[in-house]
Chain A
Amino acid sequence: MADNNNTLVQVRDLKIHFFTNEGTVQAVDGVTFDIRNGQTLCMVGESGCGKSVTARALLQIVHRPGKIVDGDIILYRKRSHNQTEEVNISKLEPKGSVIRSIRGKEISMIFQEPMTSLSPMYTVGNQIMETIRLHTKADKNQARERTLEMLKFVGIPRPERIIDEYPFRLSGGMRQRAMIAMALSCNPSLLIADEPTTALDVTTQAQIIDLMQGLQKDYDMGILFITHDLGVVAEVADNVAVMYLGNVVEYSDVRTIFHDPQHPYTQSLLRSIPKVTATREKLEVIRGMVPSPFRRPSGCPFHPRCPKAMPVCSQVEPHTIDLTENHQVRCLLYDKSARNSVREMAQ
């Protein structure tokens, strides 16, 4: 895909299945993407498309009954100058010491709901200090210093007071800032943000996005940004991966995705959003709904809702096609050989 020296994480053919009583759900079914240093990859898709599970897999925190069944997640850990060490996260023991040294240190995560992801039992400061003391050799006082510094850094007013407050005393935006302070306290090389602004107001959302972009510049962090808000994507992304039912259906840089989308799902998705700049007219809709994960359609999983579906789409599962070096699409419209092979079989 790209030159390796700037690559931070390589995910190859990742498969995560959930083994439930009603059957196996293929939540993530062969996902491949790269995250580069200092860049933001946005993952877009509707609920149930597997974007959050993919993110959790990077930290090995997919909870039961989910399991990583196949694929590689290669993390290029920075060692000394120009030295990197490869770790395959998907093969690590979820409770082992290696992944525990990565979690919160090299890869950290901001969750969607700042209300539920901070513990109500400990003060904000305590929770941030815990991370610092776990991953660095700092003593209590140094950790407290560092925490104050971080709280100030993310724009929390009066950090000396807030550090000893319990999370319920803070507003949503402040809690999200505290989460970010915690995530950044050990200078991670990858920040995973799972819908970090979805529960926030537009004005707070704008503040948080600015903050994250500023921090990215300062630290040269890679960011995996998960969202379903295409407006936010246009604002923060360098590259975009569009997901549908456990597959990345289209991957490219942000301009190509917005101005020249190739996959019918991306095209319809972009047309179905109401715009602030446009006057009232009927929205285009994608017919039907996201199918139940237990009843995954045959062939291309999008074919029952696809405006450009062809008869072969229900029979053949599409593969990822390279349109250009940085533009991949998973659709039979662009795969002549697959279409021809079906035709030959029919004859």
Chain B
Amino acid sequence: MTEQTPQSQLSPAVNNGQPLLEVRNLKMYFPIVKGIFGKITGYVKAADEVSFSIRPGETLGLVGESGCGKTTVGRCIVRAYKPTAGNIIYRRADETNVDLAKVDNKELQTYRKDIRIIFQDPFSSLNPRMNVYEIISEVLRVNNMCSPKEMEYLVANTMEQCGLRPEYMRRYPHAFSGGERQRIGIAHALVTSPRLVVCDEAVSGLDVSVRAQILNLMEDLRRDMNLTYLFISHDLSVIRHICDRVAVMYVGKLVELADANTLYTNPLHPYTESLMSAVPIPNPDVRERKNRIRLEGEVADPSNPPLGCYFHPRCRYARERCKTETPVLRDMGNDHFVACHFADELELVGVRMA
């Protein structure tokens, strides 16, 4: 199993071209409120015209620096937020489509079991007053999904799949280590047999040896349960490891989307190039050979982004056009999308090979 290419691991459904989830022009604006009358003085554009699709069986990575809106996009998909505008087209199991951005809260309940989320911090995301059984079964109980007897069986079964011992079902979260807690978080997401799982920095808070265990577990579960992941992370090595395709965000906008290998070896957006260049490579021989790109300055303020291309103040290839005209995400062929005026001309380098 280990030697197979990512493509061959995908379910055949990928090839019929119908995405499981399609995000179109998603906008999520948070109002900035000032004064006692709640006057709205501006908006933080956390996600601005974001479009991408997730194919059944694949793992789509979403990367970017903190504050770029990747978590916001994830939360819109699980509908923790109601998007300001745009569509989230979800393809149901019976092959009909529904726009999750439009449905009301009541109807939304039917999709809550299909689309689940795994959170970053296994310490604050588990209720300390509930035992593991209560945490994992909560979603089943609230949605009246099964009888109490089945519930216990289902929870035990899911715990076992996630590498937890079902005997510990009545224990409280404090009795578990960080890695075990993250397993509880995963069991909590998977107990409803979802179709799409949003993993929001699911392995970022874990130690190296535990992180490897959890990554392997998630990969096994994806295969066994036919899952589709949206994997949000700022760690480019983890994304490379687990994702089939990767989307890069910068200040609320999608700047590049491509197959993982292509993106890492042949990026087309200058921001992606600088991200790749900043990744520390665990090989001491590489450091002498570096001609690194160092990004100057800071991430733009999403409530007051620069004109034109948001990246132009930090971009070393920026020209006049970049200061005035906002680039749109365009197809460069082979499913490689990029939002840069000069993507055809620039010769960018990918990740430094060890």
Contact = CB atoms under 8 A, between A and B. Distances in A.
A269 B240 contact: no
B238 to A, nearest CB: 5
A234 B261 contact: no
A5 to B, nearest CB: 26
Interface in B211-229: 211-213, 215-216, 219
Contact of B240 (A232, A276, A284): A276
Interface stretch (B95-103, B109-117, B280-288): B280-288
A314 interface: no
Given A269-B208, A276-B264, A286-B209, A202 B278 contact: yes
B2 A281 contact: yes
A231 B208 contact: no
A280 B6 contact: yes
Contacts of B1: 282
Contacts of B294: 206-207, 210
Interface in A205-230: 205-207, 209-210, 228-230
A276 B237 contact: yes
B234 A237 contact: no
A276 B351 contact: yes
Contacts of A201: 65-66, 234, 299
A278 B279 CA distance: 13
B210 interface: yes
Contact of A234 (B236, B277, B284, B292): B284
A31 B105 CA distance: 58
Given A202-B279, A276-B279, A289-B177, A282 B2 contact: yes
Given A231-B281, A258-B284, A285-B212, A172 B66 contact: yes
A211 B125 CA distance: 36
Contacts of A323: none
B66 A283 contact: no
Contacts of A203: 65, 274-275, 278, 295
A284 B215 CA distance: 10
Interface size class of B (residues with CB under 8 A): 35 or more
Given A171-B298, A201-B234, A207-B295, A285 B209 contact: yes
Interface string B251-289: 000000000010010000000001111111111111100
Contacts of B66: 172, 201
A277 B278 contact: no
B219 A282 contact: yes
A40 to B, nearest CB: 12
Contact of A272 (B209, B242, B287, B353): B209
Contacts of A154: none
A185 B275 CA distance: 31
Contact of B216 (A157, A275, A277, A285): A285
Contacts of B234: 201-202
Interface in B179-194: 179-180
A343 B94 CA distance: 68
Nearest to A238: B284
Given A283-B215, A283-B216, A269 B209 contact: yes
Contact of B282 (A46, A234, A255, A289): A234
Given A201-B234, A228-B207, A289-B177, A273 B280 contact: no
A346 B277 CA distance: 57
A235 interface: yes
Interface string B200-211: 000000011111
A173 interface: yes
B3 interface: yes
A131 B130 CA distance: 47
Nearest to A44: B208
A142 B353 CA distance: 49
7 contacts: A230-B208, A231-B237, A274-B240, A277-B351, A284-B212, A290-B177, A290-B207
Interface of A: 46-47, 157, 171-174, 201-207, 209-210, 228-235, 237, 254-255, 258-259, 268-270, 272-286, 289-290
